[in-house]
Chain A
Amino acid sequence: MLRRLAAGARHGVYGRAVLFGPRISAYDTGVGSVPIVPMTDHLTSVSGGVPDAPTLRARRLDAARDELAAAAGRGEGGRQAMRQYSHRMDAIVQQLFAEAGPVSQSVAVFALGGYGRRELCLHSDVDLLLLFSDRIDEPAEQLLRRFLNPLWDLGLTVGHHVREVAEGRTLTDDNPEFLLALTDARPVVGDATLLDAFLARSNAARTATRAVGALKTLIAERHARFNDTLYQIEPDVKESPGGLRDLFGAQTIAMLTDPTLLAQGGSGARALEDAEEFLLRVRSVLHLEAGRHHNVLRHEMQERAAARLGYTGGTARQSVERFMSDYFRHARVIDRSLRWALRAAPTPVGPNMVRAADGVRFVDAGYAADHPETWVAAFQAAMDAGCGVSDDALACIQQNAGRFTPDAFMPTADHQRAWLALLKPRAGLYERLSEMHEAGMLGQVMPEFKRIDCRVVRDFYHKYTVDEHTLLTIRNLERLANATPERARFGRVLSEIHQPELLVLALLYHDIGKWKDDDDHAAESERLIVKMCDRLQLDEEERSTVRFLVGQHLRMSLVAFRRDTEDPQIVAHLAALIGTEERLKLLCLMTLADVEAVSRETLTPWKEELLWRLYVDTYNHLTVAYGDEVIDSSPGSHAALVSEVIAGRPDDLAAEEVEHFLHGLPRRYLQLFSHDAIYAHVRLARALAPGTIRTLVRKKGNEWELTVITYDQPFLFSNCSGVLSSYGMDILRGYAFTKPDGLVVDWFHFSDLERFLAMNEGGATQMTKRLEDVVAGTTDIAARLKGREEGALVPKLPGFAPVIHSDNESSPRYTIVEIVAENALGLLYRMSRAMSESGCDVDLVLISTEGRRAIDVFHLTKEGKKLSASQLTELTANLQRVLEGRS
């Protein structure tokens, strides 16, 4: 039966939790410090032998009740008397808990509701929360039985809620009453830290908002039942408007949003206290007179209450009228304060955080002071709300930041990602980071940044201290989002970057090396950012990107403003150094933001133009001219990379094998793939016979990668992309390389939109099997794709006109076709099929997508040569037809 009871309570009326950490900690009484009031002597010195435990307990409860009843009878059943009664109840609960015996896991009992507030009335329910650290097993149920049965035997109405700590996770799906009951939770006995652990599991960010929202709804519904007026001739002292529930509602709103709220407006704190005392005394009388849980002041009760509460003199009717007038005055006080709280309460924007008129504030500054890991959320909330962090909160941060090491700010992976997410460039980031810096927080999180605090480097062009110059670069970046028309081209580049937060991180560190009087500050900055990469637990790719940006942050301005950018060699070198389009975009924006932050006059439209041209030339080199630079035995930067790859090879690979594989591939290949990926490719290519196909499917983050290694044959590329599309895969990025000996390395990065691979264990095998069949010609991919293509060809959103640009000049070996079009399922397949159908060999492909836009660059030949002008015209016309869905 107990199992049912426990389960019933867990799925009962109550439900959702919030992080009320501050509130719990504010109590922080622990078990030992809950005062146990000694029972009066006559209870234990009963004649007739030593009574058994249940009898003793019943007597203790009776004595406690008598005590409260006596106070109620004298009209003094207010706060003090209820507090005393609550203490006595605590003692009973503690004793029962001790007698229920130990279990192997941690358990705690918390008082909820009125009992939690120590305002337990004579016949009120005793609301309890029992929390178990682990699974509720048979011994735990036995404990429950031994604990709860005696409570029921005492005749108490117990509202018990049983939870495991792990269930904190599901509180967000529970209902709001439990969430509100938890705001009053008070440890009575057991391991008081369990509640913190329980609440910490819940999704805390939305819960305070939800709690306040739920409370407002409940208040509105309850008031509606009373026709929205407090002036009831027979009022319910608990439920009516202006009653005790309204008072608790106002107090809860204040607690969740601003503890000083009720002192700032409404009826004021003093009047509210008086009203509470009055209503509690009235309620005690009602319980005493009715002998049960009864809260309605009916006419006959009004007379009795007036007498008990000392309304004497004059006729009975006059006494009652005076008493009831007082009641309504007090109810009005509560009503006024509740209205004020509803109107003026700041909006919760996160756990222990509200948005007030002066910005984001901590509800409980004491709690915030000890939890630096929560601070980043305040800045994030301020960014989201488009406001600042309040002076109060900043003062709290400033006073306490120095106590913590960097790790205290980001103890978990979630916190680390939250820090990174905060750095996404958008309006307000500069201001928030400046607040953080001035409050001394930035320097605690990034101790390296402290070294450039107010650092002055005297040269003739920098106009600001190094720290402010650094922060201004970020302001420049965030302003690109709403750039002027001339600047809009850079704004577009920013919108295309996959992880712009890495750029902000790199900007924060780019000049930190200037703490040293050294010529090469970039190298020192690069050395120092490694520490921050460790703190943020960046992955290899992210780490290498930020290190590159910091280490090379001067490179692009040097080339743009000091080198002859019309010299193709200069651009080729820069392209080789940068390696990928993504890094080029990052470095270009970094340069722009950095130059602009030197002084107001530094970034002239003239310089912008130079930088843009260098960007375009380098971009074109990376996407169009790379095909002619292949790995060979000539010296150069690629030779060093090849040596590195060979030197680092695992034991199962021979040096010649690696060298042979790399020979003839475009040099860019070395920068696009990690060493491990290259070794995997070498293995796949080992003893590969013509006509066979080797594949590798791998999950990367939320997305997937497919590598195909085989010898070239007509329609190969379109078949690969077609098979991916036939499974609904959205191809995001990709490369296709063909070596002069015909060996092909195709790599696709795609997202599994229909969760085919996630849902099917053998999905990858099935997909690669189909690829083999299609390449072998035993399966017709066109037929398989037909249905999907028809769906995809129907434009769902207003699109933009596709652009086809063909180029027979840039490369001596290839005809280059660049296509920018609206991304659609099977787009790559349809384009490459059209090329193959025109008799072209698809030798090299670069695939990228930016939002809805697909940008694909194909390097083509026909019978080993570039296309003739007429062939190119025909191909372009075919492609145009394909893109317009006419074929």
Chain B
Amino acid sequence: MKLIKAIVRPNKVDDVKNALEKLHISGMTVTEVRGHGKQKGHTAIYRGQEYNVSLLPKMEVEVVIPDALATDAIKAISEAARTGEIGDGRVFVLPVLESYRIRTGEKEV
């Protein structure tokens, strides 16, 4: 199993969701996050006063999927979230050691 963490533009979340659903991946966690990568934010000016906006609002989409689906999922996310501009985000893939269903205590393989 793999945990896929994708940091995407807020306006791309729906596209990412739809793309994952096409792969029959329906369970996911979406979180509002703030951060920066290479795109370090910029200085905005309001009424002549500068203020720093180094942490940018992004969305984090997390899914846990079978290893076999990982490549397709990464591709689907990347395509759905891409604009070609700086700030499109990142996809991280982490191994998942074990997973339990809380209601039943059942261990998933």
B44 & A616 in contact (Cβ 8 Å cutoff) = yes
Given contacts A566-B87, A606-B57, A607-B32, contact A613 B44 (CB under 8 A): yes
- B32→A604 contact, CB < 8 A: yes
Give residues of chain A (799-851) contacting chain B, Cβ–Cβ below 8 Å: 803-805, 807, 818-820
Q: Quick check: B47 and A807 within 8 Å, CB to CB?
A: no
Cβ of A28 < 8 Å from any Cβ of B?
Answer: no
Question: Is B17's beta carbon under 8 Å from chain A?
Answer: no
| B69 contacts partner chain A, Cβ-Cβ < 8 Å | no
B53 at the A interface (CB under 8 A): yes
List residues 40-84 of chain B with CB under 8 A from any CB of chain A: 44-50, 53, 57, 83
Contact call A807/B45, Cβ cutoff below 8 A? yes
The count of chain B contact residues (Cβ–Cβ below 8 Å) is 20
CA distance A820 to B47 in the complex (A): 7
| A820-B48 in contact (CB<8A) | yes
List the B side residues contacting A619 at CB < 8 Å. Answer: 46
Q: Is the CB of A818 within 8 A of B47?
A: yes
Looking at chain A's contact residues, the main secondary structure is mixed
Chain A residues contacting B44 (CB-CB under 8 Å) are: 613, 616-617
Q: Is B108 part of the contact surface with A, judged by Cβ < 8 Å? A: no
Q: Whose C-beta in chain A lies nearest to the C-beta of B48?
A: A805
Shortest CB-to-CB span from A856 to chain B, Å, is 10
Q: Assess whether A620 is in contact with B46, with CB atoms less than 8 Å apart.
A: yes
- How many pairs of residues, A versus B, come closer than 8 Å at their CB atoms? 49
Q: How far is the CA of A804 from the CA of B50 in the complex (A)?
A: 11
**B27 proximity list for chain A (CB < 8 A):** none
Residues of B within 8 A of A542 (CB): none
B37 within 8 A of A: no
Cβ A620 vs Cβ B32 within 8 A:
no
Question: A455-463, A556-564, A859-867: which one contacts chain B?
Answer: A556-564
Residue numbers in B under 8 Å from A617 (CB-CB): 44
Q: Is A610 located at the chain interface by the 8 A CB criterion?
A: yes
Chain A, interface size category, equals 20 to 34
Which residue of chain B has its CB nearest to the CB of A570? B11
CB of B36 to closest CB in A, whole Å: 13
Judging by beta carbons under 8 Å apart, are A609 and B57 in contact?
yes
Closest to A804 in B: B48
Asked whether any CB of chain B lies closer than 8 Å to the CB of A855, the reply is: yes
Contact of B11 among A563, A606, A607, A804 (CB under 8 A): A563
B46 and A616 contacting across the interface, CB-CB below 8 Å: yes
CB atoms of B11 and A564 under 8 A apart: yes
Chain A residues, CB < 8 A from B10: 561-562, 610
The answer for the CA separation of A855 and B87 in the assembled complex, in Å, is 33
Known A566-B87, A607-B32, A610-B57: A805·B11 in contact at CB below 8 Å: no
Closest to A616 in B: B46
Note all chain B residues with C-beta closer than 8 A to A604: 32
- Whether the Cβ atoms of B85 and A805 lie closer than 8 Å is no
Report the Cα distance A804→B53, complex, angstroms. Answer: 21
Of B45, B48, B49, B87, the most chain A CB neighbours within 10 A belong to B48
Q: Closest chain B residue to A810 by CB distance?
A: B45
Knowing A613-B44, A803-B47, say if A562 contacts B11 (CB, 8 Å): yes
CA distance A865 to B82 in the complex (A): 38
Chain B residues with a Cβ under 8 A of chain A:
9-12, 14, 32-34, 44-50, 53, 57, 83, 85, 87
- Please list the 8 inter-chain residue pairs (A to B) with the smallest Cβ-Cβ separation, ordered nearest first: A805-B48, A606-B32, A803-B48, A818-B48, A616-B46, A564-B11, A820-B48, A610-B57
**Contacts A610-B10, A613-B57 given; 4 further ones with Cβ under 8 A?**
A564-B11, A803-B48, A807-B45, A818-B48
| Chain A to chain B contacts (Cβ below 8 Å), 21 pairs | A561-B11, A562-B10, A562-B11, A563-B11, A564-B11, A564-B83, A566-B85, A606-B32, A606-B33, A606-B34, A607-B32, A609-B34, A613-B44, A613-B57, A616-B46, A803-B47, A803-B48, A803-B49, A805-B49, A818-B48, A819-B48
